[in-house]
């Protein structure tokens, strides 16, 4: 993934957090889960390549992010 794509993902995560008046790292667990599920629905192929960024920026493990995607409920 190009650096611009990574930065775009971080900006989207930050926007999601800002809408909840918090930062990416201090999102509640339910909000982090919602964020990752929405990201996975938005861009399927690009999402797989960017899972490290999607998980790392809000402070969850990549395994947890994949778990959120597999078990959205």
Burial of 64 (0-12, 13-18, 19+ CB in 10 A): middle
pLDDT exceeds 50 at position 38: yes
Q: Which domain holds residue 20?
A: 3-70
Instruction: Say whether pLDDT at 64 is over 90.
Output: yes
Residues 49-53 have a mean pLDDT of: 83
* Mean pLDDT estimate for the chain: 85
User: Is-contact 20 27, C-beta < 8 A?
Assistant: yes
Question: What residues have CB less than 8 Å from 5, skipping those under 6 apart?
Answer: 46, 50
User: pTM of the full predicted structure?
Assistant: 0.80
* Average pLDDT value for residue range 57-63: 92
Structurally, the chain folds into a number of domains equal to 1
């Amino acid at each position: 993934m190009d650096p611009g794509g990574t930065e775009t993902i971080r900006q989207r995560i930050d926007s999601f957090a800002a809408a909840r008046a918090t930062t990416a790292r201090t999102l509640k667990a339910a909000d982090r889960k919602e964020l990752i599920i929405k990201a996975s629905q938005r861009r399927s192929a690009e999402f797989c390549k960017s899972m490290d960024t999607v998980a790392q920026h809000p402070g969850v493990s990549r395994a947890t992010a994949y778990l959120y995607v597999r078990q959205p409920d």
